[in-house]
Structure 1
Amino acid sequence: MAQASIFEQILQPANRADPYPLYAELRKDPVTREADGTYIVSTYNEIVALLHDPRISSDPRSHTEMAGAAPTTEEGPPGLPLFFLNLDPPEHDRLREQATRPFGPPHTPDRIAAMRPWLTEVTDSLIDGFAGRRQVDLVDDFAYPLPVTAICRMLGVPLEDQPRFQHWADAITDTLDPGAGTFAERVRQRARVTAELGQYLDGLVDERIRRPGDDLLSGMLTDTGPHGRMSREDLLSTAALLLVAGHETTVNLITNGMLTLLRHPEVLDRLRTEPDLIFPLVEELLRYEPPVQMITSRNTLADITVGDTTIPSGSPLALMLAAGSRDPGRFPDPDRFDPNRTDNQHLGYGSGIHYCFGAPLARLEAQIALPALARRLENPRLVTDPPPYRPNPELRGPRHLLVEVG
Structure 2
Amino acid sequence: MQTQPELEPLLDFSPYRLLTEPDAVHLRMRAEPPVRLVREESGFTYWLISRYAEARQALRDPGLSNDPRRLGHAVDTANAYSPMANNDPPHHTRLRGLVSHGFTRRRINALAPRAESVTGELLDAIAPTGRADIIADLAFPLPVLIICELLGVPTRDRETFRTWAARTLSTAAGPRTREERSRRLRAYFTRLVAAKRAAVRPDLAPDEQPDLLSALIVAQERDSSLDDDELIGLAVLLLVAGHETTTNLIGNGLLTLLLHPDQLVMVREDPTLLASAVEELLRYEGSAGQSSLRVAVDDVVIGGTVIPRGSVVNIGLSLANRDPEAFRDSDTLDVRRDPNPHLAFGHGIHYCLGAPLARMLAATALGALLGRCDGLQLAIPPDELRWRQISILCGLTALPVSFDPVRPETSGT
Q: Tell me: CA distance 1:317–1:174, structure 2 relative to 1, closer, same or farther (3 Å).
A: farther
Q: Does residue 87 of structure 2 align to residue 96 of structure 1?
A: no
Give runs of aligned pairs for residues 146-295 of structure 1, distance below 5 A: 146-157=142-153, 158-162=157-161, 163-170=163-170, 194-212=182-200, 214-223=210-219, 227-228=223-224, 230-295=226-291
Does the 8 Å contact 2:19/2:287 carry over to 1?
A: no
Moved more, 345-354 or 304-313: 304-313
Corresponding residue for residue 350 of structure 1: 346
Give the number of equivalent residue pairs.
375
Q: Tell me: CA distance 1:288–1:30, structure 2 relative to 1, closer, same or farther (3 Å).
A: same
State the 1:27 CA deviation: 3.0
Corresponding residue for residue 178 of structure 1: none
The alignment's C-alpha RMSD in Å is: 2.7
Unaligned 5+ segments in structure 2 are: 1-6, 201-208, 405-413
State the 1:388 CA deviation: 1.5
Q: Tell me: CA distance 1:193–1:51, structure 2 relative to 1, closer, same or farther (3 Å).
A: farther
Rounded to whole Å, the distance in 2 between the matches of 1:307 and 1:110 is 39
Q: Tell me: CA distance 1:14–1:317, structure 2 relative to 1, closer, same or farther (3 Å).
A: closer
State the 1:228 CA deviation: 4.8
Cα offsets for 1:311-344 (capped at 9, x unmatched): 1111111110000000001111100001111221
Rounded to whole Å, the distance in 1 between the matches of 2:391 and 2:61 is 25
SS at structure 2 position matched to 1:397: strand
Structure 1 length as normaliser, TM-score?
0.85
Q: Tell me: CA distance 1:14–1:60, structure 2 relative to 1, closer, same or farther (3 Å).
A: closer
Give runs of aligned pairs for residues 1-400 of structure 1, distance below 5 A: 5-6=9-10, 9-11=12-14, 16-28=19-31, 29-35=33-39, 36-65=44-73, 83-104=83-104, 109-157=105-153, 158-162=157-161, 163-170=163-170, 194-212=182-200, 214-223=210-219, 227-228=223-224, 230-383=226-379, 384-386=381-383, 387-392=385-390, 394-400=392-398
Rounded to whole Å, the distance in 1 between the matches of 2:15 and 2:143 is 28
% identical equivalent positions? 36
State the 1:66 CA deviation: 7.3
State the 1:272 CA deviation: 2.4
1:30 maps to a residue whose letter is P
Q: Tell me: CA distance 1:291–1:233, structure 2 relative to 1, closer, same or farther (3 Å).
A: same
Corresponding residue for residue 183 of structure 1: none
Does the 8 Å contact 1:58/1:87 carry over to 2?
A: yes
State the 1:17 CA deviation: 1.4
State the 1:392 CA deviation: 4.1
Does the 8 Å contact 1:136/1:404 carry over to 2?
A: yes
SS at structure 2 position matched to 1:136: strand
Rounded to whole Å, the distance in 1 between the matches of 2:108 and 2:15 is 37
Rounded to whole Å, the distance in 2 between the matches of 1:260 and 1:319 is 23
Rounded to whole Å, the distance in 1 between the matches of 2:324 and 2:16 is 26
Rounded to whole Å, the distance in 2 between the matches of 1:33 and 1:128 is 51
Unaligned 5+ segments in structure 1 are: 68-74, 77-81, 176-185
Rounded to whole Å, the distance in 2 between the matches of 1:379 and 1:66 is 46
Does the 8 Å contact 1:139/1:255 carry over to 2?
A: yes
Does the 8 Å contact 1:349/1:355 carry over to 2?
A: yes
Does the 8 Å contact 2:15/2:392 carry over to 1?
A: no
State the 1:169 CA deviation: 3.7
Rounded to whole Å, the distance in 2 between the matches of 1:347 and 1:136 is 31
1:166 maps to a residue whose letter is A
SS at structure 2 position matched to 1:84: coil
Cα offsets for 1:118-171 (capped at 9, x unmatched): 111111111111133132111111111111111111112231232124323447
Q: Tell me: CA distance 1:226–1:399, structure 2 relative to 1, closer, same or farther (3 Å).
A: same
Cα offsets for 1:80-119 (capped at 9, x unmatched): xx62111100000100111111110xxxx52111111111
Rounded to whole Å, the distance in 2 between the matches of 1:88 and 1:102 is 21
Rounded to whole Å, the distance in 1 between the matches of 2:336 and 2:173 is 35
Does the 8 Å contact 1:292/1:394 carry over to 2?
A: yes
State the 1:252 CA deviation: 0.8
Does the 8 Å contact 2:164/2:181 carry over to 1?
A: no
Does the 8 Å contact 2:19/2:285 carry over to 1?
A: no
State the 1:259 CA deviation: 0.9
